[in-house]
Amino acid sequence: MADAFDISDEQQDYSQYGLEANPFPYSPVPAEDPEIYCGQQHVSEKISSTVSTMLSTGKSKHLVITGKYGNGKSHTLKYTRSLLRDRDDVVVGYVAQPGEGFLDIYHEFVYDLGFNRVQELAYEYLASVARDVTDANPISASAMKSLIDEGEILLSEIVPEAVRRLSDVTHFADFARAIVHMVYEDTNLYAWQWLTAEGIRYEQRKEMEIHSALDDDTMGVRAFTAFKNMLLELGYTGVFVFVDEFESIARLSPKNEQATLNSIRHLMDQNSSGLCMLFGCAPEVWQDVMSEYHAFSERIGEEVALKPLTNEHLNDLVLDYLSRERNGPTEASSIDPFTNEALDVILQRSQGNVRQALAICSRVLDSAIEENREQVTPEFVQESM
């Protein structure tokens, strides 16, 4: 029976098409940091406007991106995130899906930032305090860490003042203590668990002098707001939150769905500055939210819809993917080995769905190599399906 399989790690040769490899994904799911964005201009313009407004004015602004499954919502959110993540003046978090309520959104957001980033922010805050209350002048998180490690600054000198100031900024003393404890070796994991709403024992909270549990949506909104206020105090422009698959709230009970939307609404109401939320949502669920939960949908304000691909979009998409692996004499602007007519057939078969179009392109290109075809014609696309 083993002879029935022919498993090999031998790589396919795509050089006859001037390609290093098959550029199309076999499983077309969005990359974590997409390099290619097949822009639908009205979508990219709306996102650019929303993001730019927050960056330039500091005022909160939110947007929902609708589109059917496979039309590129996740890809659009992740591509936008990749454009913002390297900026020094903002903090960016991605939430794959909203879960059972706002506390899950908060948990995923903090978890996406990661332990090291939150600890770095804690050192950054301590540095700002140390500049005021000591003779040292740490200008970064790493400089602050070095001063503490070398004994130049004692935590006992600055922690009480840091907790007091951060409590004033955030109006949440327990959050302030948890942030400060991110720099203590003995308690930083407890602090991380509390900040991510994973839950810790009473004894562990007592060790950090934290009195409350971060275990419901109300506390999640409070902690998120405290976190954003700390960032503004440190000089950041604001926080970007990308919430994907927002349509999954439709699976919640009506009571939980309303509670989740109310919590997000409260978050927006409490953060008129420094917050930009972008949601990816199926259009039918967003229409229901628009019709049933006015108080929430009115806070979003704007919606932009991803539409099925056109001939021009598909041509650009295929060209971008081919260009990534182009190495031969074929012109970079050529869609060879695909013909324009072949792309027409792919567009029809995929019904303009990005995910399906990429899957077909990948499959057809491999078939063309196996059969040593000079070009991918409409007839060959039909045969390969």
What one-character-per-residue DSSP string does 193-204 give? Answer: HHHTT----HHH
Angstrom CA distances, 210 to 80, 84, 318, 340, stand at: 37, 34, 55, 65
**pLDDT for residue 331:** 66
Does residue 62 contact residue 296 with C-beta atoms inside 8 Å?
A: no
What local confidence, expressed as pLDDT, does residue 296 receive?
A: 86
Give domain limits for the chain. 60-307, 309-384
Residue type, 231: L
Q: How many helices (H) and strands (E) does the chain have?
A: 17, 5
Whose CA is closest to 121, among 142, 106, 104?
142
pLDDT for the residue numbered 1? 58
Structure tokens at 142: 């790493």
Question: Is residue 115 classed exposed, middle or buried when 0-12, 13-18 and 19+ CB atoms within 10 A define those classes?
Answer: middle
Contacts of residue 292, Cβ cutoff 8 Å, sequence gap at least 6: none
What stretches in the chain show pLDDT beneath 50? none
pLDDT at 338: 94
User: pLDDT at position 277, please?
Assistant: 96
- What count of Cα atoms within 13 Å lies in the side-chain half-sphere of residue 90? 25
Q: Can you point out the beta strands (E) in 96-237?
A: none
Closest by alpha carbon to 347, among 15, 38, 43, 31? 38
Q: CA-to-CA distance for 220 and 104, rounded, in angstroms?
A: 9
- 229-245 pLDDT, tens digit per residue, is 999 999 999 999 999 99
pLDDT in tens, 153-207: 999 999 999 999 999 999 999 999 999 999 999 999 999 999 999 989 999 999 9
pLDDT of residue 40: 81
Provide the whole-model pTM. 0.88
Q: What is the DSSP letter of 71?
A: S
Sign of torsion over alpha carbons 99, 104, 105, 110:
negative
> What is the dihedral sign for C-alpha 227, 231, 232, 238?
negative
Distance from CA of residue 264 to its chain's centroid?
17
Query: What local confidence, expressed as pLDDT, does residue 54 receive?
Result: 95
Closest to 279 in 3D by CA, of 30, 41, 73:
73
Please provide the CATH number assigned to the domain covering 309-384: 1.10.8.60
Beta-carbon contacts of residue 164 (< 8 Å; ≥ 6 apart): none
Whole-number pLDDT of residue 327 = 80
Residue 4, pLDDT score: 79
- At residue 329, the pLDDT reads 63
